[in-house]
Amino acid sequence: MFDTIVVATDGSDSVGRAVDVAVDVAARFDATVHALYVLDTGEVESSPDEVREDLRNALDDHGERALANVVESGTERDADLEVVTGVREGRPAREIVSYADEIDADLVVTGTRGRHGENRFLIGSVAENVVRTCRVPVLTVRRLTEEDPRRVTF
């Protein structure tokens, strides 16, 4: 059913549960996980010239840590799970959808809110755009609080 799963990560706490779900689904279906980090060029370009290079370097480092966390989660869940990592630059939603198309993904998994999503009511703008434009099924995963009675650990 699922052979290729893309999990979009921005390294935020809110995407942690989405990573866990993607890894769990991949392990159950013996699928390959493609962890994707998109460096948001709009964020870099809108920053002041004096800090632009430092911001870009910080975002690069942040992305590498985010991808390493997905790989670690995958190998902890299943040592044989194949996790491929990728980095793109551009508009996050557009790059996630494009990447999923390019690798012929069967499923895209994303958190509902990313690093800048706290001001959105139900779903972050990146997740919303991915849901609206992606040709394959998109699983959005909400982060649960410690107090939420529906909280389940995989």
- What order of strands is seen across the sheet that includes strand 138-141? 83-90, 32-40, 4-8, 107-111, 138-141
Write down the pTM of the prediction: 0.85
Q: Does residue 38 lie in a domain region?
A: yes
Helix (H, G, I), strand (E, B) or coil at 134: coil
Q: Does residue 147 lie in a domain region?
A: no
CB 121: neighbour CB atoms within 10 A? 5
> Which residues in 80-137 belong to E strands, given as ranges?
83-90, 107-111
What CATH number should be reported for the domain holding residue 44?
A: 3.40.50.620
Supply the pLDDT for residue 149.
53
Domain count within the chain = 1
**142, pLDDT greater than 50:** yes
**Do 115 and 65 meet the contact criterion of CB atoms below 8 Å apart?**
no
**88, pLDDT greater than 80:** yes
**Do 7 and 17 meet the contact criterion of CB atoms below 8 Å apart?**
no
Q: Does residue 97 lie in a domain region?
A: yes
Tell me what the mean pLDDT of segment 119-133 comes to.
76
